């Protein structure tokens, strides 16, 4: 397995597939998963001739289960360590959910200033801010995220079954085609990681205001979001993000869930490819 050591000594696992001289696409996974959640995209794009890279966030998947550093700032710095280790240039960065927040902070603070980023994609992403505040009245109340923390601390294994079985993939909707394999894979990825990292990560993805990150990004940025996303509601995320981006494009999908990259991979991959090649 391949690892890079961050500046604070943390071992970060990564995958690096495809020709070294091809344009790189870097994938950033969501909470509480791992780089394995990008299987459908990495296989698709490597077969199209791209170099595809994805890492496990610290405390997630096969990366070190350290007790600290579970913040958006550190997530972005860890991503930068992978990029610098592989010397990736002219890259497209694609982030899902919490990974979308990671992409926004990475591009704004590390990628664009170094000229390493060509384009960015935010999929079902958490920016600009999930938490309801006076300045963000459309956000979710803190009680929602306190409930996540309570459920995780009480019985993480059951919580990590309930989320994919229900709202994450829209399997709780009438007529949904439920995939037991998708549910088990979500659970497997989640349980590989650290409960401490997952607990702290709830604060990172819900309370990090990324308004200024979005304003700082100038590269072409595609924002993709399902209109039936029950995890990250579209109105206070994607529809706000595109108004803050200098060069943003919004595409929404009626009836699609938070986990649309997996259950609607054929549609999403085609749209991602069109944007990458544009």
Catalytic residues: 97, 229, 258
Q: Residue 27 belongs to what H/E stretch? A: strand 24-28
Sort residue 116 into left (φ over 0), alpha (ψ -120 to 50) or beta.
alpha
Asked whether 108 and 120 are in contact (CB, 8 A), the reply is: no
Query: Residues 6 or more apart from 158 whose CB is under 8 A from it?
Result: 151
Tokens of 139: 């956000």
Return the residue matching tokens 């794009």. Answer: 45
Pairwise CA distance, residues 91 & 14, whole Å? 16
Radius of gyration of the chain (CA): 17
Q: Find out whether 227 and 53 touch, Cβ atoms under 8 Å.
A: no
């Amino acid at each position: 397995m391949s690892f890079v050591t961050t500046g604070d000594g943390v071992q970060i696992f990564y995958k690096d597939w495809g020709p070294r001289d091809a344009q790189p696409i870097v994938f950033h996974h969501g909470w509480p998963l791992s780089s394995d959640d990008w299987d459908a995209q990495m296989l698709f794009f490597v077969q199209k001739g791209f170099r595809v890279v994805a890492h496990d966030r610290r405390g997630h998947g096969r990366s070190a289960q350290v007790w600290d550093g579970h913040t958006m700032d550190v997530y972005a710095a860890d991503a930068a360590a992978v990029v610098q280790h592989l010397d990736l240039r002219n890259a497209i960065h694609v982030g899902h959910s919490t990974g979308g927040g990671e992409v926004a902070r990475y591009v704004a603070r590390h990628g664009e200033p170094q000229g390493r980023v060509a384009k960015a994609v935010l999929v079902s992403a958490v920016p600009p801010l999930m938490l309801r505040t006076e300045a963000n009245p459309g956000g979710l109340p803190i009680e929602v995220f306190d409930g996540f923390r309570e459920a995780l601390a009480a019985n993480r294994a059951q919580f990590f079954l309930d989320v994919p079985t229900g709202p994450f993939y829209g399997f709780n909707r009438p007529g949904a085609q439920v995939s037991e394999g998708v549910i088990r894979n979500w659970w497997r990825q989640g349980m590989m990681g650290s409960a401490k990292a997952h607990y702290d990560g709830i604060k990172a993805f819900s309370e990090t205001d990324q308004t200024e990150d979005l304003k700082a990004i100038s590269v072409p940025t595609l924002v993709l979001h399902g209109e039936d996303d029950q995890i990250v509601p579209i109105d206070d995320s994607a529809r706000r993000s595109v108004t803050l981006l200098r060069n943003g494009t919004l595409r929404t999908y009626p009836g699609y869930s938070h986990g649309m990259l997996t259950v609607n991979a054929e549609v999403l991959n085609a749209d991602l490819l069109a944007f990458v090649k544009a």
